[in-house]
C-alpha cells in the first residue's frame, strides 16, 4: 500500500519551454501533496505544499509563477515548470500524505520515484 507514482521519470527539454510533471497516489487519497527538489548529493528541499482543492503554499524563495502547482483531485497533483532554464535542471520528487493509512501512518509521507529534469 501507499504507492505514489510520478510521470515522466525523466525529461529533457529546451530552454524556454514548459514541463509538466504528474504525481499520483495510487491506493490512497492524498489530502496533502508536497513537491521537493533535490540537487546531487544534497537532501530534499521542500518547494511547496498543496491541499486538494486549494492553492499551494510555497516555501520562501520559490517562485510560484515559475513552479505552478495544481492539486485538482485527491489522487493527482501536477507541477509545471514554466519557461524552464538550465538552472532548473534537478531531480523533482513529490510525496503524499493521506487518509485511510491507519496506525498514525497518515502523519508520514510517501514519496514518488522522482522526475529528472534536464534543461538544455
Partner 1 sequence: QKEVEQDPGPLSVPEGAIVSLNCTYSNSAFQYFMWYRQYSRKGPELLMYTYSSGNKEDGRFTAQVDKSSKYISLFIRDSQPSDSATYLCAMKGGSSASKIIFGSGTRLSIRP
Residue 16 CB, nearest distance to partner 1 (Å)?
A: 26
Which of the residues 51 through 90 are near partner 1 (CB under 8 A)?
none
Instruction: Confirm or reject binding of residue 2 to partner 1 (CB under 8 A).
Output: yes
Instruction: Confirm or reject binding of residue 18 to partner 1 (CB under 8 A).
Output: no
Binding partner 1 (rule: CB under 8 A), the pick from 64, 108, 118, 120 is 108
Radius of gyration of the chain (CA): 14
What is the 3 state secondary structure string of 7-68?
ECCEEEECCCCCEEEEEEECCCEEEEEEEEEECCCCCCEEEEEEECCCCCEECCCCCCCCEE
Cell of 108: 508520514
Q: How many residues bind partner 1 (CB under 8 A)?
A: 24
Instruction: Confirm or reject binding of residue 111 to partner 1 (CB under 8 A).
Output: yes
Instruction: Confirm or reject binding of residue 7 to partner 1 (CB under 8 A).
Output: no
Torsion of CA 77, 83, 87, 90, to 10 degrees: 20
Residues forming contacts to partner 1 in the complex (CB under 8 A) are 2, 4, 6, 41-44, 46, 49, 91, 93, 95, 104-114, 116
Amino acid at each position: 500500500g501507499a504507492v505514489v507514482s510520478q510521470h515522466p521519470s525523466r525529461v529533457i527539454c529546451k530552454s524556454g519551454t514548459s514541463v509538466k510533471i504528474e504525481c499520483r497516489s495510487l491506493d490512497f487519497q492524498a489530502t496533502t501533496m508536497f513537491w521537493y527538489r533535490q540537487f546531487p548529493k544534497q537532501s530534499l528541499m521542500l518547494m511547496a505544499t498543496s491541499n486538494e482543492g486549494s492553492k499551494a503554499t510555497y516555501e520562501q524563495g520559490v517562485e510560484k509563477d515559475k513552479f505552478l502547482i495544481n492539486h485538482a483531485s485527491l489522487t493527482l497533483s501536477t507541477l509545471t515548470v514554466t519557461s524552464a532554464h538550465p538552472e532548473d535542471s534537478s531531480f523533482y520528487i513529490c510525496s503524499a500524505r493521506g487518509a485511510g493509512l491507519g496506525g498514525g501512518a497518515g502523519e508520514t509521507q510517501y514519496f514518488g520515484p522522482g522526475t529528472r529534469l534536464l534543461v538544455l
